[in-house]
Amino acid sequence: MLKKNNYNVRFLCLMVLLFVGSNLLAQKRITGTITNKDNNQPVSGATVQVKGSNNATLTRNDGTFEIMANDNAVLVITVVGHKSQEISVNNRAVVNIAMETSMNSLEEVIVTGYTAQRKRDLTGAISVVKPDEMNKIASPSFNQQIEGKASGVSVTTSGQPGAAASIRIRGNSTFTLGGGEPLLVIDGVQVRGAYQNTINPNDIESIQVLKDAATTAAYGIGANNGVIIITTKKGKAGQPKIEFNSYFGTQSATNSYDKILLGTAQEYADLVYQSYNNAGQWPQPGDAIVARIYGVGPKPVLPAYVNPLPANANNPITVDPATYNYPNNLIMKASPGTNWWDAVFHDATMQEYNLSASGGSERGRYFFSANYFDQDGIMKFTDFRRYTLRANSDFKVKGFTFGETFTMAFSDGVGQPNGNQVEQNTLTEGILKMQPIIPVYDIAGNWGGTKAGFGNGKNGLAKVTRNKDNRGETTRMLAGVFGEVRFLNHFTGRISYGIDYTVNFQKNFTYIDYESNEQAGSNGFNEQTDRFKHWIFAQQLTYNNNFGDHSVKAIGVHESQLNEFRSIGGSLNGYFLQSTDLWYLNTGLADPATRTVFSNGGTNNAKESYVGRVEYGYKGKYLLNGTVRYDQSSNFLLDKGQTFGGIGAAWVLTDENFLKNVTWLNSLKLRGAWGVTGNDAINGNVNYTTLGGGPGSTFYDINGTNNNAATGYSTTQLGLPVVWEKQKQYNIGLDGVLLRNRLEFSFDVYQRKNKDFLFQIQQPGTAGLFGSAVGPPYYNLGQISNKGFEFSATWRDRIASDWKYDITANLTFNKNNIDDLAPSLGLKSFFPAIPETRIGPVVRNEIDHPMGTFYGYTLDGIFQSDAEAAASTQQGAKIGRFKWKDVNGDKKIDDLDKGVIGDPNPDLIFGFNFNVAYKNFDFSMFLNGTLGNEIFNYTRYFTDFFGFSGNRSKRMLYDSWTPTHTDAKLPLLDITDNYSFVPSSYYVEDGSYLRCRVLQIGYNLPASLLSKAKIDHLRIYVQGQNLFTITNYGGLDPAMGTRDGTNATEVFSNVDYGNYPTAKVLMVGLNLSF
Amino acid sequence: MRKNIYKLFGALIIGVSIFACKKSFLDRPPQAAFTEASLSNAKGVNATLIAAYAALDGWTDNGWGNAAGNPWPTAGSNWIFGSVASDDAYPGSQPNDQVPVERIRRYQWLTDETYYRAKWQAIYWGVSRTNLTLRLVDKAEDLTQADKDQIIGESKFLRAHYHFDGYKMFKNIPFIDETTTEFRQPNDVDIFPKIEADFQEAIAKLPEVSSVSSGRATKGAAQAYLARAYMFVGRYADAKPLLQAVIAGGKYALVDNYHDNFDPATQNNKEMLFAFKASVNDGAGESANGNWGDRLNAPHSSTVTECCGFHQPSQNLVNAFKTDANGLPLFATFNNTDYNQATDNVDPRLDWTVGRIGSPYLDWGPFLAGWIRDAGYCGTFSPKKNIFAKAEKGTLSTASGWQSVPSAIDIPFIRYSDVLLMAAECEIETNGNLDLARTYINQVRTRAGNFVQGPGTSAANISVPLGTGVFPTATYKIGTYPSTGWTQDYARQAVRWERRMELAMEGYRLFDLRRWNVDVDVLNTYMNVEKTKRTALFAGAETVTSKHHLYPIPSVEIDLSKINGTAQLKQNPGY
């Protein structure tokens, strides 16, 4: 840790820079108009800058500008879609400039965090996502919109409305919670976390994805997995402009279990009886429950009614519907085959309305927006709604600029009962675990269910219906203020403060479900409130100057940040009445003895950082930059401070004489970057062994009172001091513009090696960690690397004057690998620390393999004869059962033969975009997907084996082994086969897919029509999303959402627990501005 | 003017940097948690000792939802590993419910079964809590030596208990003490001497006094427990003096009513040497301090509880309660015909142990057929020792949460009747005083004849003295053993039988069969008969062999014990 004195010395140095010299040269007012050379139309929003200074302004709607400059100053004019120009003032007072149209993007200004550069001056690998491309995907979150739009970027999410989406840039190199996510910098405020639904994507002006150390090094410890810079819209000088965008669409499920699950009660009964028959038996009188329902004998007989009458009644029982009594004698009419998917899923609507107003003058600008997003889920009674407001403005007073960005978002919604991708979620319980004979409603119109002995599944429709008022809410404020001063021509000082404040509230009522086999004992209610607070305070000094052919920019930054989180909740049971008006924790409303209050603890961490960056250019063709950042984080007990940094260099080859005359080559630039970044995304508590506990986990009734437990405490976290993850990375890139600006491409080769990656390794049982009662320690475990290359290219052209089109392709090849594991620990592999599955661990990480590989036996066919089974050393070997491969070759089948059986990481991720415009019509199509990734389809455990008395798969009935069907995929239907279900390559499937994310046709109403109504622009469009998906994956959706739970995103990627599938959307929309 | 603005700006930056540089800004101790240092005092050490007791039920509410951390396999009662795996009980419920229990019942003992691992973890979870206490007790300066001895004695008692629980299950396990830092320990050394040493130290340090109202370990409990451990490894001669000391000490005695040991209102009694003390409605969510491990083991009825119908007594067990005209067991013929309440005499303990259709079920009224989840699968008997009375529902059982089973019914670990039977066994096996052994056994049988399940449905007449009521659903008859024919062989048979009756469904049976080395024979004989009665249940069952003497070491634990690729843990023989 730095000493206070040292610290102040650094700052004195900064201040000295501030006060050196103060003579201002004489300046005068210069005015002018910027027009387009092709059509003589005024160009609004162009940047006019005095070269070598930060003195700049924007042109108004009529193309005019005014700026203070010296007589010998050079003005630099830049605007998107045009070639930049430099023009000398030459003692003039009026400077008019005609701009040439440019079809390449080299003049775009790219915000790279603490600085902004023209694209042609970049040395790093940066992808830019255009808002207009992004907003073609209807979603409340930009995360989902950038999927496939930028090379190197992959996004995973589920189809649940409002679901979190996670982003990985160039693979993943960390297991820390949220550490794999890129750092988000929204208008200068650094934020993390999965609450990105609270940023209205319509407010976004630009998104830049920083991928290599030439730029990310400026963010040091936060930047290990890339940085996404989001700039929201500001007003432009000129007339107020109103924009209105809206769409309305309907969604339907892209897939269902219809292809997978048995559809009729008869098929289900046949399957069960076959599994008895194959074991040489059939349900006997007085035998298992199936006999009570389907009768005795080798063949099942479907009953007319089912109910939970005494188990020892005759088989099959005869049910008299007249004896119905709620809730004690619930009688159901046997269903010929309930389609539980259809009971739980339906078509649903989504809509969004966005209104913005912007404008201003050179003295001040403003941007306001309001947004309403409303999506009903295709799973009934799930939805997500969001309301946002934004106000961005800035004001110039003399040499000072002040401004703020402010957004407030309120969202609420109902998700799946019990969460996504967890074993007991609705998809699993309400659909997979419900036999087709159970009707949705019983004969009196109450819920049908499993009470008559149909396992422990829950009526999915009942479950989502009861869950409909269990709404969760998020309120988030993200705000920043800044002040900036320009002085001495070349200096800019900036001071800013940003705050990110979020409150989550969730309430949850559970009802007694009389129709279920294992009903709840009492009703109950709980609520929980989480509060997140984060602030960042930064000061920045920038120096910018040109000396002849040399251009220099230097930046110094100091920033400090504080993060706080705390949470409180409570529960109460035995409500006297169930009305939502009574969902409070007042003891008078329910059984006071059951009231509990709990705190989910808290986090509290701080960071303080210094950044220095220098950018140097010679003749605009040799470009060099270097960044040093010193970070201190309270998340570490030892070595709080660490220095990071990076250098980047670029060479514009086309500026050299030997390429000057190559006409087909417009621009060619070679780039290289190297640097070190870090990651501190752990909870600082893990450095310490902590103790604690609570009433249920450590308290004990030592005095035998029966209702009063004495206070006890135990270890809750085994701590070890750890250090940061440090990543060294290099990048070599080539950017080109060819064939008269029609083809632009970018190619990058990269390698990043993350050393000392942090992991909570599963400890041996002897360490005394059990369940989640004691957190295992973090270790700096070893090195994870990602190597790969990215390619993106855009071809843009016109055919005749009316036809315009462009095609863009993004490809990323990435190879992930665990290079080494701490030799001192003697590890070759390690299991995740957190809960697994009912069939034991299915993920184990191994040295020299990628992260998160699947673990189990390798399937080696099916035992085809008694002799073959008898000769096997495999436990439970029997004809018709799965046979495992002797992987280690020791002539014995045992646990040592378990190993890597699949890899969740894709070899290739890709996106293709096509745009065509003809006169006022436009068409676009966007395809994306992955290749070479695998999925552990855990839902097969529920559908293909006898683990639960739920519904079963068609393949189990029709493609299981029999003596006459020996090339079957599944083992013999055998009620006694308790062996074939264990984790094996049977569960592993190819997860590659190609999906049509967007297909859109739009029409711009002619200006002649609109001008009468004083409308600038009106476009209407129809659109389809997710219209088709090409995949071999047999589960619901190969684009896997993340699993709920601590660190689960990183550790259980592509384990399919029954995912909320993506919806197909058909919509109409309009864009209007005036 | 302009310069002043700059100065202002600069001063602001410096001011902020000084503020930001305050030492505390980057110094953030753990939030909402204690450290070892903050608990290294009398109050803290006592609290960690309480937590060491709290692990006796093998259940942490934090583990809920963790497939491997379910409370059933870790239950302090060992109902799956000691009872379902023996001839006492079936899994219960219906097919495919808790499949691991079915596999264990069918002797399909998989090395990667999650249940063994959960039990393994729960054992060392308890061990680690005792070790924490032992580490902190040394650092607490405000404790007297007497306090320290008491705390060390209790901790070592608990540590020995946890290790012995693992020893019974797996035998080949590592011993973890308060100095262990490398947890990848081998299992190739017999840890029994260390268990013995911990119990010895507990005996030396713990007070004699029977603290009737307390759950704390005592000298008597440690003596009896060490005796049990000695007997487990065949050291009857070492066990005998310990048991004699407990009996001679006079601190413990049989209660008059057998059922008082299973009623939360009367469990704190002079017979209970050591138990897990369950508590409900005490502020812990879903009554997590209740007896969670046995939560599934209740009738499947919306009247009594909503759950779940597990741990159903076997036909064999029920038949074993049959008695002859003298009220003595039918050693050879008990299983020839199934118990018939109209014609057979029966030990009164049957109706304290087993719920039978038509017979009174505590004060719940006659047990109804509809309370059985799937009679075809596991028969019509229901567990009873862990069921609270109707009059106790909601006060001595949980008033909140999923299902209504968790109750304040304790898990007895050592009862005085067990002490008497162990003492009897020691006399028999050491060629000691056979008559003394008979006296001990007869004490237990005499007590068993005091009270029987009453026929009424009120709380007051759950228990009635035998001979005072009318019992339409059973003919109770229990007698004492006469001296005639009381040979060593006969006595051995009698004491083993008595243990089964007295401790039925309490999770001891398989471990008793193991230490008598009769498990292979008894279980195969049992299955050969049972599978004709419960076809679905025993379908695909494996034959019991010598490998079933021990449960398999969980394969994931073997994997986790690897150092440089070499597993420190070795699998048990036969797997």
Nearest to B450, CA basis, from B183, B169, B258, B202: B258
* C-alpha triplet A928, A934, A937: angle, nearest 5°: 110
Residue entry with tokens 């290219």? A793
- Contacts of residue B465, Cβ cutoff 8 Å, sequence gap at least 6: B450, B451, B452
pLDDT in tens, A998-1007: 999 999 998 8
Q: State whether residue A484 sits within 8 Å of chain B by CB.
A: no
Q: Out of A1, A691, A762, whose CB is closest to B34? A: A691
At A834, the pLDDT band (50, 70, 90 cuts) reads low
Query: Which positions 858-917 of A are in contact with B (Cβ < 8 Å)?
Result: 875-876, 894-895, 898
User: Chain A partners of B559 at a C-beta cutoff of 8 Å?
Assistant: 829, 831, 844, 895
Q: Is B430 exposed, middle or buried (0-12, 13-18, 19+ CB in 10 A)?
A: middle
Nearest to A926, CA basis, from A826, A849, A994: A994
β-bridge mates for residue A1024, sequence order: A999, A1066
- Separation in Å, CA of A538 to nearest CA in chain B: 9
- Separation in Å, CA of B168 to nearest CA in chain A: 16
- The number of helices, as runs of H, and strands, as runs of E, in chain B is 18, 14
Query: Which positions 623-662 of A are in contact with B (Cβ < 8 Å)?
Result: 632-634, 640
- Read off the tokens for A355: 């209104």
**What stretches of A790-901 show up as alpha helix (H) in DSSP?**
866-871
Side chain identity at residue A877, one-letter code: A
Please answer yes or no on whether B62 and A773 come within 8 Å at the CB atom. yes
Q: Contact at 8 Å (CB) between A985 and A902?
A: yes
- Read off the tokens for A310: 């005494």
Q: Out of B48, B376, B395, whose CB is closest to A286? A: B376
- Contacts of residue A663, Cβ cutoff 8 Å, sequence gap at least 6: none
| Range A254-259 average pLDDT | 90
Q: Out of B34, B113, B278, whose CB is closest to A690? A: B34
Nearest to B474, CA basis, from B317, B366, B382, B345: B345
Predicted confidence at residue A294, as pLDDT, reads 81
User: Chain B partners of A599 at a C-beta cutoff of 8 Å?
Assistant: 32
- Contacts of residue A758, Cβ cutoff 8 Å, sequence gap at least 6: A174, A175, A176, A179, A679, A682, A722, A725, A778, A779, A780, A781
Q: Is A193 exposed, middle or buried (0-12, 13-18, 19+ CB in 10 A)?
A: middle
Q: State whether residue A481 sits within 8 Å of chain B by CB.
A: no
Please answer yes or no on whether B60 and A696 come within 8 Å at the CB atom. yes
User: Chain B partners of A770 at a C-beta cutoff of 8 Å?
Assistant: 60, 63, 69, 74, 121-122, 124-125
Query: Which positions 580-609 of A are in contact with B (Cβ < 8 Å)?
Result: 591, 593-594, 596, 598-599, 601-608
Three-state SS letters, A322-347: HHCECCCECCEECCCCCCHHHHHECC
| Range A31-36 average pLDDT | 86
Predicted confidence at residue A20, as pLDDT, reads 38
Query: Which positions 424-443 of A are in contact with B (Cβ < 8 Å)?
Result: 424
| d(C-alpha B149, C-alpha B157), whole Å | 12
Q: Contact at 8 Å (CB) between B376 and A291?
A: yes
What's the distance, CA A8 to chain centroid?
41
- Rounded to 10 degrees, what is the CA torsion of A330, A334, A337, A343? -30
Measured between alpha carbons, how far is residue B399 from residues A592, B266, B458 in Å? 10, 20, 21
- Separation in Å, CA of A831 to nearest CA in chain B: 8
Helix axes B434-448 and B416-429, enclosed angle (nearest 10) = 150
User: Chain B partners of A491 at a C-beta cutoff of 8 Å?
Assistant: none
At A1042, the pLDDT band (50, 70, 90 cuts) reads low
Q: Contact at 8 Å (CB) between A157 and A1042?
A: yes
Please answer yes or no on whether B404 and A713 come within 8 Å at the CB atom. no
Q: State whether residue A88 sits within 8 Å of chain B by CB.
A: no
Predicted confidence at residue B546, as pLDDT, reads 95
Q: Which range is most confident: A315-319, A570-574, A638-642, B128-132? A: B128-132
Q: Contact at 8 Å (CB) between A730 and A673?
A: yes
Is it the case that residue A604 has pLDDT exceeding 90?
Answer: no
Q: What is the DSSP letter of B13?
A: H
Q: Out of A287, A312, A709, whose CB is closest to B536? A: A287
User: Length of chain B in residues, anyone?
Assistant: 575
| d(C-alpha A823, C-alpha A808), whole Å | 46
Q: Contact at 8 Å (CB) between A654 and A660?
A: yes
CA terminus-to-terminus distance, chain B:
88
At A521, the pLDDT band (50, 70, 90 cuts) reads confident
| d(C-alpha B199, C-alpha B195), whole Å | 6
Helix axes B219-232 and B145-170, enclosed angle (nearest 10) = 30
Nearest to A420, CA basis, from A728, A56, A161: A161
| Range A779-798 average pLDDT | 93
- Separation in Å, CA of B574 to nearest CA in chain A: 11
User: Chain A partners of B305 at a C-beta cutoff of 8 Å?
Assistant: 521
Instruction: Among A53-57, A913-917, B440-444, name the one with the lowest average pLDDT.
Output: A53-57
Q: What is the DSSP letter of A676?
A: E
- Read off the tokens for A270: 């046949």
Measured between alpha carbons, how far is residue B208 from residues A402, B147, B211, B212, B398 in Å? 79, 15, 9, 12, 34
Q: Contact at 8 Å (CB) between A216 and A1027?
A: no
- Separation in Å, CA of B306 to nearest CA in chain A: 6
Is it the case that residue A19 has pLDDT exceeding 50?
Answer: no
Q: Contact at 8 Å (CB) between A914 and A133?
A: no
3-class DSSP state of A1050: helix
Is it the case that residue A1029 has pLDDT exceeding 50?
Answer: yes
Q: Out of A524, A701, A977, whose CB is closest to B279? A: A701
At A681, the pLDDT band (50, 70, 90 cuts) reads confident
Three-state SS letters, A953-970: EHHHHHCECECCECCCCE
A677 vs A36, more confident: A677
Nearest to B57, CA basis, from B74, B80, B79, B69: B74
Across A24-122, where does the E strand assignment appear?
28-36, 47-50, 56-58, 64-69, 74-78, 85-88, 97-99, 109-111, 116-118
User: Chain B partners of A688 at a C-beta cutoff of 8 Å?
Assistant: 29-30, 33, 35
- Which residue does chain B place closest to A827, by CA atoms? B564
| d(C-alpha A930, C-alpha A637), whole Å | 41
Q: What is the DSSP letter of A825?
A: G
Q: Rg (Cα) of chain A, in Å, rounded?
A: 32
Is it the case that residue A1048 has pLDDT exceeding 70?
Answer: no
- Read off the tokens for A984: 């094996």
pLDDT in tens, A288-315: 567 778 877 778 888 888 876 544 445 5
Predicted confidence at residue A309, as pLDDT, reads 57
Q: State whether residue A700 sits within 8 Å of chain B by CB.
A: yes
| Range A172-190 average pLDDT | 87
A418 vs A944, more confident: A944
3-class DSSP state of B400: coil
- Read off the tokens for B59: 């259940």
Instruction: Among A22-31, A652-661, A954-963, B271-280, name the one with the lowest average pLDDT.
Output: A22-31
Residue A539's H or E segment, with its range, is: strand A524-547
C-alpha neighbours within 13 Å on the C-beta side of residue A601:
17
CA terminus-to-terminus distance, chain A:
56
Q: Contact at 8 Å (CB) between A32 and A94?
A: yes
The complex scores an ipTM of 0.94
A420 vs A451, more confident: A451
- The number of helices, as runs of H, and strands, as runs of E, in chain A is 15, 52
Predicted confidence at residue A301, as pLDDT, reads 86
Q: What is the DSSP letter of A554?
A: E
Instruction: For CA atoms B310, B311, B317, B318, give the dihedral sign.
Output: negative
Q: Contact at 8 Å (CB) between A206 and A131?
A: yes
List chain B pLDDT tens, one digit each, 575 residues: 455 555 555 545 544 554 445 567 888 888 888 989 999 999 999 999 999 999 999 887 765 544 455 789 999 999 999 999 999 999 998 877 888 899 999 999 999 888 999 999 999 999 999 999 999 999 999 999 999 999 999 999 999 999 999 999 999 999 999 999 999 999 999 999 999 999 999 999 999 875 555 799 999 999 999 999 999 999 999 999 999 999 999 999 999 999 999 999 999 999 999 999 999 998 888 888 999 889 899 998 778 887 889 999 999 999 999 999 999 999 999 999 999 999 999 999 999 999 999 999 999 999 988 888 888 789 899 999 999 999 999 899 998 767 788 899 999 999 999 999 999 999 999 999 999 999 999 999 999 999 999 988 888 889 999 988 788 999 999 999 999 999 999 999 999 999 999 999 999 999 999 999 999 999 999 999 998 888 888 888 999 999 999 999 999 999 999 999 899 999 999 99
**Dihedrals φ, ψ of A493, to 5°?**
-110, 140
C-alpha neighbours within 13 Å on the C-beta side of residue A357:
5
Residue A564's H or E segment, with its range, is: strand A550-573
3-class DSSP state of A792: strand
